[in-house]
Amino acid sequence: MDLSRKAYEPCALCPRRCGARRLSGAAGVCGASASLRIARAALHFWEEPPISGESGSGAIFFAGCPLRCVFCQNHEISHEGFGIEIGVGRLAQIMLEMQEQHALNINLVTPGHYAPHVVEAVAMARERGLRLPIVCNTSGYERVELVEALAGTVDVWLTDFKYASSDLAGRLSAVRDYPSVAEEALGSMLEGLRHAGGRCMREDGSMERGIIVRHLVLPGQSDDSLDVLDTVWRLCGNEVDLSVMNQYTPNERCLREGGTLARAVTADEYELVLDYADALGFEHLWWQQGGTVSESFVPAFDATGVVGPELGE
């Protein structure tokens, strides 16, 4: 896949392949044109231990998203499109600023629809001394061609695997093909990891190279969660880390519409999924402790760390 700026028109970066003329100012299904927009850039302490550690992850949150998850906690940026327009030089400078703040890595949150900008910025930052691993924090809804094209840029894939059911994916995220797309994308990520030499950890316990597959347990959907774990185990076994999350928090839409998504995940639902992951044999398994509902995992999208000098100024 060509990741020059030409990839924006007509756009086929994500599996939707909506064909938007983004260079001409049109927005794709993701809500983004060819103008790079960032909502927040700051140390983030609520990722998995190999990503956040004690120093924090250098998280950069991109505006827009190809999915339309009804329960999205980041709806201000994913659905509503909040973000400040910056240049690729500023993005590269942000990465270097994160390194100066002793971040463990550069954590690009939902960056796929800006892949041409991202590749260019990472290259610029590396030329100026960036030494940190690049984490791609993704929904898992990615084209294999994009995963392959990012192989030289991304060191760690922090990828969701949301659903095994097409019906559930269509109803909750408006993409019935999510299960098949996510499976193919994960397979491509694993192939790239194997080619690079496999999972690699630093002495401090942070991840230098690898894949962490995240699964958010949804209320009333434990059976689908078990099917997701079956798929991940079949594809990857212990070549990847598995993160089973209980942080589901009903947003305003879910509370207003009622039904199962208006409540939290129960302790029994979460324990069922965790026990199944353990029974399958996952050795690198991460889980969350404490209450199942917490808004502390959602940062303030207030343009923190976004505005500043361009690289070289």
Mean pLDDT of 247-263: 94
Q: How far apart are CA 82 and CA 23, in angstroms?
A: 19
Residue 141 scores a pLDDT above 50: yes
Read off φ and ψ for residue 8, nearest 5 degrees. Answer: -80, -10
Q: Decide yes or no: CATH 3.20.20.70 for domain 37-297.
A: yes
pLDDT of amino acid 300? 84
Q: How far apart are CA 247 and CA 89, in angstroms?
A: 35
Q: How far apart are CA 198 and CA 178, in angstroms?
A: 26
Rg of the chain over all Cα atoms, to the nearest angstrom: 18
CB 292 within 8 A of CB 266: yes
Q: Please, which pLDDT band fits residue 291 given cuts at 50, 70 and 90? A: low
Identify which of 211, 221, 135, 223 has the alpha carbon closest to the alpha carbon of residue 173.
221
Residue 277 scores a pLDDT above 60: yes
Residue 182 scores a pLDDT above 60: yes
Per-residue tokens: 298: 């959602």
Over residues 143-166, the pLDDT tens digits come to 999 999 999 999 999 999 999 999
Specify the range with the lowest mean pLDDT, choosing from 19-28, 36-45, 294-303: 294-303
Read off φ and ψ for residue 138, nearest 5 degrees. Answer: -130, 155
Over residues 198-227, the pLDDT tens digits come to 999 999 999 999 999 999 999 999 999 999
Q: What is the pTM of this model?
A: 0.96
Residue spans of the domains in the chain: they are 37-297
DSSP string, 186-213: HHHHHHHHHHHTS-EE-TTS-EEEEEEE
Q: How far apart are CA 25 and CA 21, in angstroms?
A: 7
